[in-house]
Amino acid sequence: IWKMLGTTPNIKHIVVGRCYNYVTLVNPGLRHDCEEIWRQFEGAVVCQSSCNVTVEDYHPMFYAMPQTWPCDKFLFWSKTRTLMHSYAAVMRHFWTLEDTLVGYMFNDLIWCGQEDTGFDFDSCPEWLACRNHPVYSLWRQASQNFAEMACGNITVLLNGSIVNAFNRLSMFGSVELDSLNPLKVNYVNIKVVTNLEGPHL
């Protein structure tokens, strides 16, 4: 299947609203220009063929939203999304990609452009259908930036109920792991967690 849902309706209001929410309430003190971030995002995506947005196209947007984190708080995860949410909720000092401004703004959204007419609200290509998928490229660059910032004692949450808890093809295995800086990361705390009901692989 090559087509999936189109761009999330009202994407501009959602993205800009989340940005204002983040810089006003979630992480006050950040001086980011939400309208400018949106303009850079739009510049990368709209009026492009839907499979033709590279990570480089997003560089101006990322440049408009620099962010750093204190060490020892970085939490990476792979195939443990549900668990990660409750884990990070309980262990409140952890930060995941979704706690960064870019992760917060684009979480769960879909988008792709259309030559000539802006966003394509009818259908977007499947995530893995093309090399330069606009959603994939953004998450790839966001993941890389997050991993490059990581320092100190970091934590990785893997799924012990699936065959390949560590998968080289996952975003963690293919992008984040290779972006960690061995001069900055001094300890990797790997937690392999199974479902309560198993299987315990």
Ligand X SMILES: *[C@@H]1O[C@H](CO)[C@@H](O)[C@H](O)[C@H]1NC(C)=O
Report the interface residues with ligand X, using CB under 6 A: 49, 52, 79-80, 82-83, 153, 155, 159, 161-162, 187, 189, 193, 195
User: Taken in order 90, 85, 96, 106, is the CA torsion positive or negative?
Assistant: negative
Give the CA distances from residue 131 to residues 161, 173, 181, 200, in Å, rounded to whole numbers and listed in that order. 29, 17, 26, 35
User: Closer CB to ligand X, residue 79 or residue 140?
Assistant: 79
**Residue 67 neighbours by CB distance under 10 Å:** 15
User: Closer CB to ligand X, residue 11 or residue 75?
Assistant: 75
Annotation marks residue 71 as catalytic: yes
What is the distance between the alpha carbons of residues 104 and 85, in angstroms, rounded to a whole number? 13
* Annotated catalytic residue, options 71, 112, 124, 130: 71
Q: How far is the CB of 188 from ligand X (least distance, A)?
A: 9
Q: How far is the CB of 92 from ligand X (least distance, A)?
A: 12
Nearest to 188 by CA among 148, 152, 138, 159: 152
User: Closer CB to ligand X, residue 105 or residue 156?
Assistant: 156
Annotation marks residue 151 as catalytic: yes
Question: Which residues carry out catalysis?
Answer: 71, 151
